[in-house]
Chains A and B, each alone.
Chain A
Amino acid sequence: MSDNTNVTRKPEAPASEMALLPPVDVIEDAGGITLYADLPGVPKDKLTLQVEGDTLTIEGEISLAAPEGMESSHAEVNLPRYRRAFTLSKELDANKVSAEFNQGVLKLRIPKAEHAQPRRIEIAVM
């Protein structure tokens, strides 16, 4: 958008960049947030996790072992890629995200920053 000579509308993302939206579970407890995402068919080296500013992006390329000359006759997973982005809130510590990826399920743990940990507030009786 920095190029202001470009007055035409931003072109649609090319078909090769279209992606499926992976289903997720997001659970929050006192210590932080746990996110699970289903990314079946993505090998470990084709998974990309990125935190940029306060945006967390999960992206994965599907790689299936298909025999030579296979023609698809029915496809419910009909794009070769998953992508999903989340906006993190500032009490989460994006530098301490830990990730596990096992049999197509990504598990992310995003802890809350030290200062945002729950504290019991004493009530002073006057």
Chain B
Amino acid sequence: MLYRSVFPRDLLSELDRLQREMQQSYEFSPSIRGLARGGFPAINVGNTPHSIEIYAFAPGIDPATIDVQLEKGVLTIAGERASVMPPKEANATVHIDERFSGRFRRVVTLPDDADPNAVSAKYRDGVLHVSVQRRQAAQPRRISIE
């Protein structure tokens, strides 16, 4: 489970990824919150000079049931995804069972200049997009020379 990606790629890129992850786990001390990758939902993070953009790929969830919390610079995304598996007594056969179901929780550590009072979250096409503004004071300023 530790190395299983939600969206696997072809074999060569999988080997490449495995090598990179092994290197990382030997070369650096791992984060106290565990491996940075893997798990549900998959997360992408982007930066702009004014904000931090977090994308959580959590399809098929009622946005009202997703719990997004920001506390002491740590963003937590938690919720639950219902299983589509037929009940045991149903006369059905499960051929492939790859999609995640059950409770999930993922955390993202935000940089120091993240402003906890300026956060917005949207859910569209199965992606939760959380945008956290950076504090004004921390933004780069050009200092003029007199």
State the A residues within 8 Å of B (CB). 18, 20-30, 33-34, 36, 38-43, 63-79, 82, 102-105
Q: Cβ of A24 and Cβ of B7 under 8 Å apart?
A: no
Pairs of residues from A and B, 8 with the lowest C-beta to C-beta distance, nearest first: A104-B126, A104-B59, A105-B60, A40-B126, A23-B98, A40-B57, A20-B7, A76-B42
Q: Which residue in chain B gives the minimum CB-CB distance to A74?
A: B45
Residues of chain A contacted by B86 (CB below 8 angstroms): 27, 29
Bound state CA distance, A82 and B123, in angstroms? Answer: 20
Q: Which residue in chain A gives the minimum CB-CB distance to B111?
A: A73
Residues of chain A contacted by B85 (CB below 8 angstroms): 25, 27
Residues of chain A contacted by B94 (CB below 8 angstroms): 25-27
Bitwise interface map of B from 103 to 146 toward A, beta carbon under 8 Å scored 1, else 0: 00000000000000000001111110101000000000000000
Q: Cβ of A41 and Cβ of B47 under 8 Å apart?
A: no
Measured as residues with beta carbon below 8 angstroms from the partner, the interface class of chain B is 35 or more
Contact of A39 among B8, B41, B59, B122 (CB under 8 A): B59
Q: Which residue in chain B gives the minimum CB-CB distance to A34?
A: B84
Contact of B59 among A25, A27, A40, A65 (CB under 8 A): A40
Q: Cβ of B129 and Cβ of A64 under 8 Å apart?
A: yes
Among the stretches B21-29, B48-56, B69-77, the one at the interface with A is B48-56
Q: Cβ of A67 and Cβ of B93 under 8 Å apart?
A: no
Q: Cβ of B53 and Cβ of A67 under 8 Å apart?
A: yes
Residues of chain A contacted by B122 (CB below 8 angstroms): 65
Q: With A67-B48, A69-B49, A77-B7 given, is the CB distance from A24 to B125 under 8 Å?
A: no
Q: How far is the CB of A80 from chain B (nearest CB, A)?
A: 11
Q: How far is the CB of A61 from chain B (nearest CB, A)?
A: 11
Bound state CA distance, A74 and B127, in angstroms? Answer: 16
Q: Which residue in chain B gives the minimum CB-CB distance to A68?
A: B48
Residues of chain B contacted by A43 (CB below 8 angstroms): 125
Q: Cβ of A72 and Cβ of B125 under 8 Å apart?
A: no
Judged by a CB distance under 8 angstroms, whether B92 is at the interface is: yes
Residues of chain A contacted by B41 (CB below 8 angstroms): 40
In the complex, which of the residues A28, A34, A68 has the most CB atoms of chain B within 10 Å of its own CB atom?
A: A28
Bound state CA distance, A48 and B131, in angstroms? Answer: 30
Contact of A41 among B8, B37, B91, B127 (CB under 8 A): B127
Contact of A22 among B7, B37, B131 (CB under 8 A): B7
Can you offer 22 A-B residue contacts whose CB atoms are under 8 A?
A18-B9, A21-B9, A25-B96, A27-B85, A27-B86, A29-B90, A29-B91, A29-B92, A34-B84, A36-B99, A38-B60, A41-B57, A41-B125, A64-B44, A64-B129, A67-B48, A67-B53, A68-B48, A71-B47, A76-B57, A105-B59, A105-B60
